[in-house]
Amino acid sequence: MDTTSDELELERVCTNCNYCFLSEPFASDFVICLNDPEFEPYLDEILEEQDFSRCQDLVKQKRFSWEQEACPDFDPMEFSDEDIPLSPELSNAIDQLAKDGNLTSETIQQAIFEDMVDEIDWAKVPVEKYVERLDNAKTPEARKKAVQSFGGLISQKNKAAFNALFSYLKDLPPPTTVEQTHLRIEILRQLKFTLNFQKKLARLLVKDLFRTPSNNTTRGWYTAVFRFFEGSSADIAEEALAPMLGSPQFSYRIKERVKNILERPNDYW
């Protein structure tokens, strides 16, 4: 990187302060001040994991424009090759920001964070905090967001994330409300990101249908499961769904839906 702290004259605004931090992961028009003592209990989660889940209300209350004039506690950021361990990608990104005239502490912070994200081995990221967030969710919206947080990890082949959400679905009782049905559908939407465990997921889904009565409340869940099998391979669908055809538990209409899935022409699959 050719641009050093000696070459960069920082304007006295909050975005150029060491205490300034983006109010949302990846990008935001707002920032928060980490020098605010109210954020102290959450600093580890914010700095290490970009996790604002425990202080969302506080962030909304405290956030402000990054262009705001700095307060007396202003601590100007300094950037040099010696202070920041630069990967080739990060060095090129910062050089490009300088050439474009967009080099500020905010854009550098964003470039550093994106480089850090690219370096993470998402397949091995621990999922304990994700599980804790899901277990402690008290509202439908909180549960939905907690479930959705697993999807990105699952798509990156994180086996622990898949197993955690898989176990959560397995332990759920049959839905008795539309709200519970919607939660199951969201869980399946995230589990479908897997490419390695579809056969395991297929077996669980059919097992779940065997213990879930078909009625107006659960109709959406049956539809979501059948759509999963419509998008799966023929061998996975046949192995998992075949037992339903011989069971007196399922209606003629449901068995016809299963037959339609299994009897699709070979070129469909």
CA 41, CA 67: separation in Å to the nearest integer? 26
Asked whether the CA dihedral 39, 42, 47, 50 is positive or negative, the reply is negative
What does the angle CA 190 – CA 191 – CA 193 come to, to the nearest 5 degrees?
75
Cα–Cα separations (whole angstroms), residue 122 to 87, 128, 133, 146, 153: 19, 14, 18, 17, 6
- Tens-place pLDDT, residues 171-214: 999 999 999 999 999 999 999 988 778 999 999 999 999 999 99
What pairing do the DSSP bridges indicate for beta strands 20-22 and 64-65? Answer: unpaired
Element (H, E) at 64: strand 64-65
Q: How far apart are CA 106 and CA 172, in angstroms?
A: 44
Q: Which of 20-29, 96-105, 141-150 has the highest mean pLDDT?
A: 141-150
Residue 52 has pLDDT above 60, yes or no: yes
Between residues 57 and 10, the one the model is more confident about: 57
Work out the angle between the directed axes of helices 159-171 and 128-136 (0-180°, nearest 10): 20
Q: In the prediction, which pLDDT does 186 show?
A: 96
Which of 55, 25, 31, 60 has the alpha carbon at shortest distance from 43? 55
pLDDT of residue 86: 64
Confidence of residue 27 (pLDDT cuts 50, 70, 90): low
- DSSP letter for 11, please: -
**CA-to-CA separations, 93 to 25, 66, 107, 191, in angstroms, rounded:** 19, 21, 10, 34
Query: Mean pLDDT for the chain?
Result: 85
Domains of the chain, by residue range, sit at 14-120, 123-262
pLDDT for 2 equals 44
Q: Give the confidence band of 234 by pLDDT, cuts at 50, 70, 90.
A: very high
